[in-house]
Chain A
């Protein structure tokens, strides 16, 4: 995709709004399940943006891992910790709101200033299917990070199952 043409622009703006707008939903929704579904919409928007950038493999990985894995994990976490009788207090006084807004505005201005004022050496390249290129790059240039991140994932998942497992007898002082 060359980035010109009305179809590309419409697609970009559609996915951009789909990626940004659910952030407000997550910020403002009362219910944690509604927040999770806003997050789903945002992740779909990001997958569309990846596809629009020509990263087809990454777009589908985004759908598979984020929406199929992480979001379902979130919903399980909500299911296991949801209590109707104890409503969370969402904002603890005004002491947290104004620092949050000020920090958000400062972060946004800094990022947008840098993004719009820096003369990036930007030129879009032609896109082709990236699956084989990504695979050979992972297995050649990025082989060490690939092995390290495999180990990190294995250790993290074993640790997560160890931490989250139900302790049968809490009286024993082993844990």
Chain B
């Protein structure tokens, strides 16, 4: 079952990569003027960072949904926060007037991630002490 899960996840990621290719290709085909601005002919542009961020975000979502260990779910959340921070920095570098505001916001995101990790690990420790497991499906006492 785990191997099948791996195969499905890999195929999903491959499809995402193909989508990225197709998306940029379609954009270049449909509107050449806009595409020339969006995808620079050479070098690393904004879209490169956005695609990296989108793939990490998707992987984080998949980790949160598929993994059952509460600490692994937390790792997925950290990936989501990281991808959001990368988007802030990339946009502030390429779009905003100066590149500082996005970096400050990303610093705030990192601080919030630290606070969230500390609190969530404390809660996980309490769940472990009370239920003797860190499986997120076992902590269902509030389920109706």
Contact = CB atoms under 8 A, between A and B. Distances in A.
Nearest to A166: B129
Interface size class of A (residues with CB under 8 A): 35 or more
B99 A108 contact: no
Contacts of B111: 65, 149, 152-153
Interface residues on chain B, size class: 35 or more
Interface of B, helix, strand, loop or mixed by DSSP:
helix
Interface string A111-141: 1110111111111110100100110011001
Contact of A86 (B49, B85, B100, B133): B133
A81 B128 contact: yes
Given A54-B99, A113-B23, A122-B37, A35 B72 contact: yes
Chain A interface SS verdict (over half): helix
B108 A149 contact: yes
B114 A160 contact: no
Contacts of A134: 100, 103-104, 107
Contact of A104 (B4, B34, B62): B62
B54 A27 contact: no
B95 A61 contact: no
B46 A74 contact: no
Interface in B24-73: 24, 26-27, 34, 37-40, 42-63, 65-69, 71-72
Contacts of A8: 43-44
A42 B82 contact: yes
A88 B119 contact: no
B139 interface: no
A35 B74 CA distance: 11
B59 A55 contact: no
Nearest to B55: A20
B49 A53 contact: yes
A39 B43 contact: no
B125 A20 contact: no
B108 A121 contact: no
Interface in B98-114: 98-101, 103-104, 106-108, 110-114
